């Protein structure tokens, strides 16, 4: 193909997009109606303790940052689960309860 006969098509009409993502239409579940399952985990982590918080909905990245700051530890967000490094299970449970979440300690 030469430059003059390219396969690009240009249009002067604006294309309407319906970008109504799931984030806009999703209702936020209030914290008092959510139960956070808090589990201490060491498997596949070379003996390092990690606290895994499951079963939460909403803005998990903001909650993860709050928990990291509260515990003074690192953490990550994987598969809708918050992981906080270190054994801070009781501290995290108390913090989430103060924010209005129901908590349940799972495992050992």
- The encoded tokens of residue 99 equal 């924010």
Mind listing the pLDDT tens digit for each residue in 7-59? Answer: 766 667 666 555 555 444 345 778 888 999 999 988 888 889 999 999 999 89
Domain tally for the chain?
1
Mind listing the pLDDT tens digit for each residue in 76-85? Answer: 999 999 999 9
E strands within the chain? 35-41, 50-54, 75-78, 81-85, 102-106
Integer Cα distance of 40 and 51 in angstroms: 5
**Domain contains 53:** yes
Over its C-alpha atoms, the chain yields an Rg (Å, rounded) of 22
Q: Please give the model's pTM, rounded to 2 decimal places.
A: 0.70
**Domain contains 82:** yes
User: Could you tell me the CATH number of the domain that includes residue 93?
Assistant: 3.30.780.10
């Amino acid at each position: 193909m030469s430059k003059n006969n390219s396969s690009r098509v240009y249009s002067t009409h604006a294309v309407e997009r319906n970008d109504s993502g799931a984030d806009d239409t999703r209702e936020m579940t209030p914290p008092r109606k959510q139960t956070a399952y808090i589990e201490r985990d060491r498997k596949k982590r070379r003996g390092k303790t990690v606290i895994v918080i499951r079963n939460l909905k909403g803005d998990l990245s903001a909650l993860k940052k709050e928990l990291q700051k509260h515990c003074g530890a690192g953490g990550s967000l994987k598969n809708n689960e918050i992981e906080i490094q270190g054994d801070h299970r009781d501290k995290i449970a108390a913090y989430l309860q103060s924010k209005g979440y129901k908590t349940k300690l799972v495992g050992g």
